[in-house]
Structure 1
Amino acid sequence: MGDISARTPLKLISPVLERGWSFRQTDSSENEWYPVQKIPSVVHLDLMQNNLIPDPIIGMNELKTEWVGEKSWTYKTTFDVPSVPIGAKAVLVFEGLDTFATVKHISSAENLLEIDFDSALRRGRELEKVHPEYRFICHNGETGRLGVRKAQYYWGWDWGPVLMTAGPWRPVRLEINETRISDLWAQIDVSKDLSLASGKLFARINGCEIISQHETTIATDGVADVSISLKNPELWYPHDYGAQTLYDITVDVLNSEFQLDTISKRTGLRRGELVQGDDEIGQSFYFRINGIDVFCAGSCWIPADNFIPRLTAERYRKWLETMIDGNQVMSRVWGGGIYEEDVFYDLCDELGILVWQDFMFGCRSYPTWPELLDSIREEAICNVRRLRHHPSIVIYAGNNEDYQIQEQYKLEYNFADKNPESWLNSRFSGGKYTTDKTVGDLHQWNVWHGTQEKYQIFDDLGGSFNSEFGMEAFPHIQTIQCFVEHSSELYPQSRSLDFHNKADGYERRIATYLVENFRTTTDLALLTFRQAYIHLTQLAQCEALMFAYRGWRRQWGQARKCGGALVWQLNDCWPVTSWAIIDYFLRKKPTYYAMSLVLRPSAVGVRREHYDWSRITVTANGSIDVAHDVIDNLSEEPHVLAARLWIDGVCVSRDMDWPQPLKYLSFEDRGVEISQHGDELRVSAMKPTKGLTFEEREGVLVSDSAIDLAPGDKQVVTCSGLKAGEKMLSWTFLGQHE
């Protein structure tokens, strides 16, 4: 980089310091530095790149790499700095250092930059000893993390490993500027009739054409603002409810001669409301966007990797597009992970996914010493400022399940006392009783956890908004084969598979739900059994969530009794048996397809109380019971009930209700036939068939899976990505191997 003339228009110069780094263990007796491929990175990735540790997600290698989190690590690089003009300054910008970092910059011919990363694991333990006045309580992982503002899942969770990272995990860059824009935002209200958008802007708004442009001066406090009014604005809607119109907001800082700095952000205009009105049950809890009530069906999001720097923009897009393809409209960014990367929210804006944003607190009673509170306050301010222009974000929530800790451990707290100082002087601050189904949102874990209710009554257990619930299932056999190192470990209760399931008591819980609902076999020698066992766990998950979503969507149409349902969870951070409906490698479990079916814009549902159809009128954005108590004297023989919804000659939705539990039914000799015709798989069965599931093959996409078939009801599944001459996808269904 050459010199910058003082008369050159001085814009932001921001080279990213990506290459030329090296690292070593800080206290190592050997002064050997190892190369870093590029920054952003974390130490585990760099150790793997240099063949110094095995891949932690394979086998039981997590145990072999635990030592990494106990050590301190140092990164260094050198860089060139151009001449800095009079009146300008050069600033090193670190977008993310993980976590306790000491930066040393030696200004010389080389400009040496060195960063020491202390062990967050050790620091957390030390902080706990320094503050005995607090009662450190947490679920999942060790208590030392409570005083450390680092993504909480790194300490391990009931679906994730203990991998304590360190390093420059977000970009490092050099900025040279005379005047810098530190923030850009808009405060715009959309009128109730949606005809006017007005408020304050700190920029000019550009799209394909300039629709509004203003000049203003900078006040003594460094803030410049203008007023704006747009008639009949184009609004931003969730997908399937309207367009995702976005506007560019650009601000330029000028002097008499030059442009000193410029910055742009993309935003959308929408009227968002959380409706919490009194109803016949208690208090409603649902979202209204631009005057439209939205049933917020979707899923909870955890970080999609333990090593965030290897998540590319392309991978984020693939993850979020699965939500759109699966008819999901809301993603909950869970409070034990990270305030997500910018690309995550940009994509949610673009795709029309509503975001429920947790602050980063989860499953614990947090201490409140002054320095920690100051850090938390700054953390909240910085992230809200960073995210507030995104139209997709419709709610900020305080934490994940901290109130349950208060209840379980009987920490003192007075809900009626709203004085923050009173809360700080107690051992807890929080909200109403967490199991109250009549107000706020609800985490319903009495299926799987808690009282382990039968999943057939899932919908009766829900509240005004169900923001967590779920059922575990094994990932597909291809994913299991990826992390199991020896073929002798390819059976359901092997050490490797047990290690890749972090849920407490999962053996008993999986066994309970399988034995209650399905026929099982004891033939452990057959590969077909292994696959059948995997399929049974997936079918249990599929059935549980179908009972939940189908029932809660019906309740949405009944005076908004249920405002939404967010399954725990969409994704995984490593290959594991968990509650995820899509595994680490983006392989969809059958539940994904079952959810997609019940969440179609128009959907039909059938349960044992409903036996026949009559001509009906369905209220838009609602539901209706079309028939009930029609058949009173069924014989003792089990009957399968099927429903189909046809619009303009096209079957847009289907559902089948089976006698429960399924273990009492025989599924042999189903007469299933599948034939391939180009990109189509044509499917039929002679007898009712449960859970026909296709293999999830890399690079191959199917439009449907986990299909229930009725006799004579032919289904067509689109299959894209199969190469000429490639073997057709394998498939299985319940009872195939009876």
Structure 2
Amino acid sequence: MKCNVMLFIVFLFYVKLIPAACNLNLNLGSDHVVWTVKNKNGSISIPATVPGGIYSDLHKAGVIGDILAGFNDVLTRWVAYDTWTYTGLFHVTEEQLTTNVAHLVFHGLDTVAFIELNDAPVGAANNMFVRYVFDVKKHLKVGVNELKVVFQSPVEAAKQRSDKHFTLPACVPDIYNGECHANQLRKMQASFAWDWGPAFPSVGIWKPAEVEFYNGSIIRSVSTYAERKNGKWKLNIKAYLESSQEYKQIDGYLSAKLLLEGNQDVKVGKDVNVSTREDGMAEVELNITISENVVRLWWPNGYGDQPLYDLFVFFSTRGNKNEISQKHLRIGFRTIVLIQIDASTKLGNTTGGQGLVFYFEINGYPLFLKGSNWIPADILPELGYNETTVNGLLTAARDAHMSMLRVWGGGLYESDYFYERCDQLGILIWQDFLFACAMYPVDTEFLESVKTEVEQNILRLQHHPSIAVWAGNNENEGALRGNWYDTQPQFEKYKEEYIKLYVETMRPIVENLDLDNREYLVSSPSNGLESELEGYIAQNPSDPHYGDVHYYNYLADNWDMNIYPKTRFGSEYGFQSWPSLATTKTATQDPNDLRLDSEYSKHRQHNPNGNDYIVQQIDRHLKLDQNDTNYYEKFVFYSQITQAMAMKAESEYYRQNQYEWYTMGALYWQLNDVWQAPSWSGIEYGGKWKMLHYYAKWFFAPVLVSPRLLLTGDVDVYLLNDRFVPIIDAQVIVDVFNWNSLIPVKSQSYPANAPALSSNKQNFSLSMWDINRDEIFLRFTLKAEGVSSSPYNFIFPKPLKSVKGLTTPSIKIKVSNPTDRLSGKQIYYPVDVQVNTVVLFLWLETAGIEGQFEDNGFIVTNPYIRTYFITKKRISSEKLERTITHQYYIH
């Protein structure tokens, strides 16, 4: 972009297709269509599902077992080496064939496929992120029709393209147990394996398929732009009309109806008579002007409500009175600015005031965005769109005060449902385009496919209030500058190809089609505008004075805030942990696998030296004897403690640094998992929360007292306030505890305040070390008028493995009947815990009962605490009480 401040007023909404009147369309996933799939030599022939995929079909037919069990990711790899033919038999009526247009539409084919209809070739596919439309009018017949989709082995297809267009890197690291040349295919890159997931190079009709029958034209997409001026919103609506490529003239009527506050509505419409382009498309615009008083602003989670308004867009084809195409869109109004201006405007003439700031200003306010990174919800793409799974993960993010998720570039453009729920929950989306950790080819075939991919997905997604920013790729600028894949001998070649793909090919499409003018970042991480000034490959793409940063450090003490880098926006950072025993046991029932040195454990750990890093972090703070008979169980538990404490430290550090560096975002890696294995996730595969996700509820709390233990031994205290009102005349209470008592040995109160939307360093620091540091710890509490809740926070002056006085607690748990806390379909059971001494990382579990605790992983400093167990199934409180077990740290 040519200017440093990119202001764009955003009118955003989600799109849902409503069937046309007298709809003759044929859903190829209906029960009336019979699908089978067979391999190349015909030795396997089974029923198939659309939408679906080959691994799902083979498992359902009993040909393969649970693909995530044991070593099955490798043992079922033969599936990816074969050729698979999907055959569908469907019936077409005479009435359907009387229409002018008959289009075969695949909304997603994974990935290299050849299509035949009634033994006639009708087209091919090479991009799983693209909608394919084929004119099949001349191939259809009344009665039974046979559709064949032949999928080439993705491993073979990738190798064939690599032989012609080799691009580094060739393969993933051996420890991933993956496949090579993923960068040659427009396919979910993680399906060839990643450091957090297995390789399942899938094939299949992974999204819905249909035959569209109509006479005139249909609305394929709708885009909008709303400008706010002089107390009014001027809304521009652009409808993308699609017809057959042989049908060159579109004649009809386009109209729109917008429902507003107070049962008001506004309608507009106009006659349409336009010629289509060669691709059969034409765009037609409508304009609506409304007062800003008849709509409310849409806000991210934690900052306000998410009002959405119904917009209906209709197109009726003249001469076909009963043929109407329509879309229903729920819209939200907001403004957004991605600001990259001189940092001295915020921080003055300081070190932090050098360079450029990088933050989002929404509805006129600079907001600190808190959240995580999203990977596909399942390693099989068709299962990753499961609405129950997606909703569970997104509501968990909402409940942890997250206001942004970054959809990572090695995964998928997510389902319409995903973005709809983000609209409703107020979760902003940092949307990567799907290029990650590799160089990519730029041959003509590849670039043409990418153009279509970007065009279609911009038009599909740009309507959502949840889309905040586009990013061209994940880590590829850093990879090229850092020579991750031995590109240095051909640096200029790869730089030229990098610019050709992300700057010359993709960027103009985004800027042309996203009418709301969201920012397009060429890469993430990146120095933003500074990277562009340096020719798109900055000398240091992670310069803390610019843009966003990805940071991982497994060797330093991750509990220590002082190790973390300054950054304008932390868009990726993390540390690994192992999944709980309960989750691991869904992948293996062999007790011999439940050892850190077992072949199973080695197979599941894809991060080179990953277990060593976890052990090192545990050993810094916790005492764990390798000869302990419960070593593995404790290792798993302690790994989750270590991860939670590391992410707490880094996340709070970034929130604190809004004060000193104008850091304005913290998105840790990663929210979710695709299998039962060690990873950076806060939520295990299956939906169980790790300690990290519970801690995110606390370290992302809207109001938080956040202390920082300095290298000098002193403690600085920050008051974090993510609200639109200041905190004044407050008190921070610091209690000093011995490890063996629930009664503080010393308490002191300090005055505190924080402006609205700020991190404010308080005018006091602590030097409370007149007692031996290994005998005490500090608890921080906030008392402030108008602040309903603020979590406890703590400072441990010495590593927990060396503290004195920590004793074995007496813990009593009582579950009461649910009374006053019923929420929708969820039932809240009060769980009261009584202790007689300080308890570290008290972790509650239930065996065999689905649900989760409202809070968990407690640092217990009161004789009584209460949490809630949340479940959808009513059970007796006595039964729940009997199933609750607990763990805690003791040495």
If the length of structure 2 is used for normalisation, what is the TM-score? Answer: 0.76
1:113 aligns with 2:134: no
Structure 1 residue aligned with 2:40: 27
Structure 1 residue aligned with 2:712: none
Q: Distance in 2 between matches of 1:9 and 1:170?
A: 24
Determine which of 614, 639, 662 is the counterpart of 2:800: 662
Q: Tell whether the 8 Å contact from 1:606 to 1:642 is kept in structure 2 after alignment.
A: no
Moved over 6 A (4+): 414-419, 421-425
Structure 2 residue aligned with 1:201: 237
Structure 1 residue aligned with 2:550: 443
Percent of paired sites with the same residue: 24
**Quick check: 314-323 or 688-697, which moved more?**
688-697
Q: Distance in 2 between matches of 1:263 and 1:719?
A: 41
Q: Give the 3 Å change call, closer, same or farther, for CA 565–596 of structure 1 in structure 2.
A: same
Amino acid at match of 2:854: S
Q: Tell whether the 8 Å contact from 1:139 to 1:364 is kept in structure 2 after alignment.
A: no
Structure 1 residue aligned with 2:326: 262
Q: Distance in 2 between matches of 1:120 and 1:113?
A: 21
Structure 1 residue aligned with 2:375: 302
Q: Distance in 1 between matches of 2:561 and 2:752?
A: 27
How many Å apart are 1:559 and its aligned residue?
Answer: 6.1
How many Å apart are 1:13 and its aligned residue?
Answer: 2.8
Q: Distance in 1 between matches of 2:688 and 2:537?
A: 38
Structure 2 residue aligned with 1:5: none
How many Å apart are 1:454 and its aligned residue?
Answer: 3.9
Q: Tell whether the 8 Å contact from 1:56 to 1:62 is kept in structure 2 after alignment.
A: yes
Mapping of residues 606-621 of structure 1, within 5 Å: 606-608=707-709, 609-610=715-716, 613-621=749-757
Over residues 349-404 of structure 1, what are the superposed CA-to-partner deviations in whole Å (9 max), with x where a residue is unaligned? 11110000000000011111111011111111111111011011000001111122
Structure 2 residue aligned with 1:153: 190
Q: Tell whether the 8 Å contact from 1:570 to 1:582 is kept in structure 2 after alignment.
A: yes
Structure 2 residue aligned with 1:250: 312
Q: Distance in 2 between matches of 1:422 and 1:315?
A: 32
Structure 1 residue aligned with 2:589: 485
Amino acid at match of 2:291: K
Structure 1 residue aligned with 2:840: 690
Q: Distance in 1 between matches of 2:567 and 2:198?
A: 32
Structure 2 residue aligned with 1:335: 409
Amino acid at match of 2:380: F
Q: Distance in 2 between matches of 1:289 and 1:9?
A: 40
* 2:620 counterpart SS class: helix
Mapping of residues 117-136 of structure 1, within 5 Å: 117-132=151-166, 134-136=167-169
Over residues 107-161 of structure 1, what are the superposed CA-to-partner deviations in whole Å (9 max), with x where a residue is unaligned? 45311111100011101011111225x4545655544211110100000000111
Amino acid at match of 1:206: L
**Quick check: 613-622 or 180-189, which moved more?**
180-189
How many Å apart are 1:553 and its aligned residue?
Answer: 1.2
Q: Tell whether the 8 Å contact from 1:476 to 1:696 is kept in structure 2 after alignment.
A: no
Q: Distance in 1 between matches of 2:441 and 2:590?
A: 45
1:236 aligns with 2:298: yes
How many Å apart are 1:417 and its aligned residue?
Answer: 13
Over residues 475-502 of structure 1, what are the superposed CA-to-partner deviations in whole Å (9 max), with x where a residue is unaligned? 1110111112312222233222222221
Structure 2 residue aligned with 1:622: 758
How many Å apart are 1:423 and its aligned residue?
Answer: 8.3
Structure 1 residue aligned with 2:459: 385
Amino acid at match of 1:664: S
Q: Distance in 1 between matches of 2:761 and 2:75?
A: 57
Q: Tell whether the 8 Å contact from 2:779 to 2:792 is kept in structure 1 after alignment.
A: yes
Q: Tell whether the 8 Å contact from 1:673 to 1:683 is kept in structure 2 after alignment.
A: yes
How many Å apart are 1:588 and its aligned residue?
Answer: 0.3
Structure 1 residue aligned with 2:491: 412
Structure 2 residue aligned with 1:723: 875
Q: Tell whether the 8 Å contact from 1:252 to 1:259 is kept in structure 2 after alignment.
A: no
Q: Distance in 1 between matches of 2:63 and 2:615?
A: 39
Structure 2 residue aligned with 1:4: none
Structure 2 residue aligned with 1:502: 606
How many Å apart are 1:472 and its aligned residue?
Answer: 0.6
**Quick check: 114-123 or 303-312, which moved more?**
303-312
Q: Distance in 2 between matches of 1:623 and 1:9?
A: 55
Amino acid at match of 2:760: I
Could you tell me which runs of 5 or more consecutive residues in structure 1 were left unpaired when the two chains were aligned: 1-7
Q: Which has the larger strand fraction?
A: 2
Q: Give the 3 Å change call, closer, same or farther, for CA 645–696 of structure 1 in structure 2.
A: farther
1:603 aligns with 2:682: no
1:546 aligns with 2:606: no
Q: Tell whether the 8 Å contact from 2:21 to 2:325 is kept in structure 1 after alignment.
A: no
Amino acid at match of 2:355: G
Over residues 196-243 of structure 1, what are the superposed CA-to-partner deviations in whole Å (9 max), with x where a residue is unaligned? 321411352433746221111224453221222221132211122122
Q: Distance in 2 between matches of 1:173 and 1:104?
A: 15
Q: Tell whether the 8 Å contact from 1:74 to 1:117 is kept in structure 2 after alignment.
A: yes
**Quick check: 328-337 or 599-608, which moved more?**
599-608
Over residues 25-73 of structure 1, what are the superposed CA-to-partner deviations in whole Å (9 max), with x where a residue is unaligned? 442154x53112x311110111111111121200111121011101110
Q: Tell whether the 8 Å contact from 2:401 to 2:701 is kept in structure 1 after alignment.
A: yes
Q: Distance in 2 between matches of 1:319 and 1:650?
A: 26
Amino acid at match of 2:326: T
Q: Tell whether the 8 Å contact from 1:23 to 1:73 is kept in structure 2 after alignment.
A: no
Over residues 562-596 of structure 1, what are the superposed CA-to-partner deviations in whole Å (9 max), with x where a residue is unaligned? 11111110001111111100000100001111111
Could you tell me which runs of 5 or more consecutive residues in structure 2 were left unpaired when the two chains were aligned: 1-19, 119-139, 239-254, 277-281, 344-352, 506-522, 524-534, 710-714, 717-733, 735-747, 818-828
Q: How many residues align?
A: 716
Q: Distance in 2 between matches of 1:513 and 1:699?
A: 32
Q: Distance in 1 between matches of 2:560 and 2:117?
A: 62
Q: Tell whether the 8 Å contact from 1:694 to 1:732 is kept in structure 2 after alignment.
A: yes
Determine which of 199, 203, 212 is the counterpart of 1:166: 203
**Quick check: 285-294 or 208-217, which moved more?**
208-217
Amino acid at match of 2:285: D
1:315 aligns with 2:386: no
Q: Tell whether the 8 Å contact from 1:153 to 1:336 is kept in structure 2 after alignment.
A: yes
* 2:289 counterpart SS class: strand
Over residues 640-697 of structure 1, what are the superposed CA-to-partner deviations in whole Å (9 max), with x where a residue is unaligned? 1111123459543211111242221253334544433332222354443321111165
Structure 1 residue aligned with 2:676: 575
